[in-house]
Structure 1
Amino acid sequence: MTSEHQSVSIICTVRDEADNIAALIDSMLAQTRAADEIVINDCQSVDETPAIVAAYAARYPQIKLVRGGHNISSGRNNAIRHARGPIIASTDAGLTLDPHWLARIVAPIEAGEADLVGGFFHPTPRSLFALALGETNYRRSSEIDPATFLPFGKSMAFRKEVWEAVGGFPEWASHCEDLLFDLAVERAGFRRVFTPEAVVHFAPRSTLRAFIRQYYFYARGDGRAGLWPKRHALRYAVYLALSGLLGIAISQPHLRALVGALVGLGVAAYTHAPYRRLWPKLRGRPFGERLAALVLVPLIRLAGDTAKMIGYPVGVCERRKRHASAK
């Protein structure tokens, strides 16, 4: 059974996005499939974000500015509560939408093939560091297993009744709220599909410090939510083994060549995919820039892993405290 052209609401929650909110709204208005409604929730901004959104709302009646929430989960829930459409298309601040994004991301729902749809996201770097970061940490859609891909809040669509059935986005979660929502939808038995052609564009972090901070909070969110314990345990095990190998190389000089070869093979395996993605993007750039970008790949890997290994146990401790206080 299909249901064509149901009312669709694009929702987004924002905080202090005055430098980029206009670009996002412009891309919302430029969709080949026009949204019936655009609901933008302001979550305690102290800059000009609400004024910019209000100015758009005065010109375009389909845009609605609402206010509420204390984090991205509660802000997103508040936007959905104010949305009239039975189909919700969710995105985030700091992005721009491909002109075909809305048409493509709601198509499986309108065709009766899915209850939750995951779109994809492409990096649009603004610096050499951001280019290296984008190609190191973000896979191509061809590298994704559609059966296991969990949609991100910046590019997803779902039936509003699905959101209601699972209790919305978990408002205790400051990060990973979209993955927790996905898992709740999965447990409830709803259908999920991956539509890589529904693309949003984002700018990767422009500095190593900003990237480390981002991944620290991601991992802390994993720890608070109890997500991916095996994946995080494997990361600790790998670095523990690496430390052991380095210790052997220091204490056993005759084994240094062997240890060096093993470490080199490990690094090559860990950076192969990023280098494969990055190298074509470096064509035509000066030799110095190409060399700097190649050097950045292992540095980004190491920095990201370190941030995760610090953030995850912090989140685990916070989860235990939250559970203890709830008893």
Structure 2
Amino acid sequence: MNFSSNPQVSVIIPVYNGEEDLEESIDCLRSQTYPSDRVEYWIVDNNSSDRSAEIIKAAIADPSNKITLHYLSENRIQSSYAARNAGIRAARGEIIAFTDADCRPESHWLSTLIQPFWKKNIGIVAGEIKALPGKSLLEKYADREETLSQKHTLSHPFCAYGQTANLAIRRSIFEEIGLFRPYLTTGGDADICWRILRKTDWEIEFSAEAIVKHRHRSTLKGLRNQWRRYGESNRYLHELYGVELMRESDRREYLYRLTRWLLKEIPIATGKAIARRSSAIDFLKTPIGLFCLSARVSGQRESQLLEKAQKIEWLDRPFE
């Protein structure tokens, strides 16, 4: 790749029923400092039933729009990975960058994310994911725990990977290792990175200043679904790669942690509260953590990788 000038970049954003996020998300794309004539944005509607398609098409038709914005539809397979594949097939950029419709890229996001590709050995760049300001207790808990930070996935004991909420990959690599597994519903971020890092000589780099912001879950239902999906990912990656499954805690361990919370953590938090140095999170950190753990264990225990989810889609042929 010739980096004598800014490389052509394609940004791919899957969306499913994202009408509440799309307008603000598109505004973030318009604010990017990367040269607008060197980047195209593909928003891929994954069979939404709300006003997502209408919002995207209106943004494209807006005469004040100064970016190259495209609309695509992927309604064959209900999967964000299938939607990303549709975007990759349409993309013309040398670098393919990914984010999500409910993310808010900072204005220098793309410029910073692309910089490491000057190094000839770098095939993947992961940017950081931070939290949008949240008011609810659950949002503040996730923010303190840095739940979405790439530092967790980049330090995975099996192999590093980046999350597609903030990730960029050289387009030529997809010709080497194939596209995302289109029927996979979670875990595809790890799978694509591991296929690259384990089957080729390409390396991954972290770009801490390439930041997108994401809203944490504000309800128990949303939080449970999120952590249950993490458990499902554990199971799928175990079946695909033999990754060690998360150890399931028994009742005695839950009881021990709750007892420790009541007898040790609550008194400490109370003392801090008297000194005005604590918050509600200090009191409820352990119960919320156990709630997340239970959801993750359930997802891991109750899920099973479907045979078709193992199939890889390719640029020049359907499946392998």
TM-score w.r.t. the length of structure 1 is 0.78
| Aligned AA (1:40) | I
Report if the CA contact (8 A) 2:234-2:245 is conserved.
no
Trace 1:155-234 onto structure 2 (pairs within 5 A): 155-189=166-200, 190-226=202-238, 229-230=243-244, 232-233=246-247
Report if the CA contact (8 A) 2:154-2:161 is conserved.
no
Q: What is the total number of aligned residue pairs between the two structures?
A: 289
SS of the residue 1:64 aligns to? strand
Question: 1:113 and 1:300 mapped to 2: Cα distance?
Answer: 41
| Aligned AA (1:138) | T
| Aligned AA (1:311) | G
Question: 1:73 and 1:123 mapped to 2: Cα distance?
Answer: 23
Question: 1:204 and 1:39 mapped to 2: Cα distance?
Answer: 24
Q: Which residue of 2 aligns with 1:20?
A: 21
Post-superposition Cα deviations, 1:58-89, rounded to whole Å, max 9, x if no partner, equal 13361000111421010011011111111111
State the Cα distance separating 1:161 from its structure 2 match.
1.1
Question: 1:14 and 1:321 mapped to 2: Cα distance?
Answer: 23
| Aligned AA (2:27) | D
Unpaired runs of 5+ residues, structure 1, are 247-258, 270-274, 276-281
State the Cα distance separating 1:145 from its structure 2 match.
6.0
Question: 1:101 and 1:242 mapped to 2: Cα distance?
Answer: 42
Post-superposition Cα deviations, 1:72-125, rounded to whole Å, max 9, x if no partner, equal 010011011111111111101111001111011111113434111011100123
2:89 to 63, 77, 81: 81
Report if the CA contact (8 A) 1:120-1:199 is conserved.
yes
Q: Which residue of 2 aligns with 1:135?
A: 144
Question: 1:141 and 1:181 mapped to 2: Cα distance?
Answer: 15
SS of the residue 1:230 aligns to? coil
Question: 1:46 and 1:170 mapped to 2: Cα distance?
Answer: 24
Report if the CA contact (8 A) 1:136-1:301 is conserved.
no
| Aligned AA (1:214) | Q
Q: Does residue 70 of structure 2 align to residue 64 of structure 1? A: yes
State the Cα distance separating 1:222 from its structure 2 match.
2.2
User: Structure 1 residues 299 and 118, CA, compared in 2 at 3 Å: closer, same or farther?
Assistant: same
Question: 1:95 and 1:143 mapped to 2: Cα distance?
Answer: 18
State the Cα distance separating 1:303 from its structure 2 match.
0.7
Q: Does residue 260 of structure 2 align to residue 264 of structure 1? A: yes
- 10-19 or 146-155, which deviates more: 146-155
Considering only CA atoms, is the larger Rg found in Structure 1 or Structure 2? 1
Query: What is the percentage of aligned positions where both structures have the same residue?
Result: 22
Unpaired runs of 5+ residues, structure 2, are 311-320
Report if the CA contact (8 A) 1:2-1:112 is conserved.
no
Q: Which residue of 2 aligns with 1:121?
A: 129
TM-score w.r.t. the length of structure 2 is 0.80
Q: Does residue 281 of structure 2 align to residue 293 of structure 1? A: yes
State the Cα distance separating 1:133 from its structure 2 match.
2.1
Question: 1:135 and 1:15 mapped to 2: Cα distance?
Answer: 28
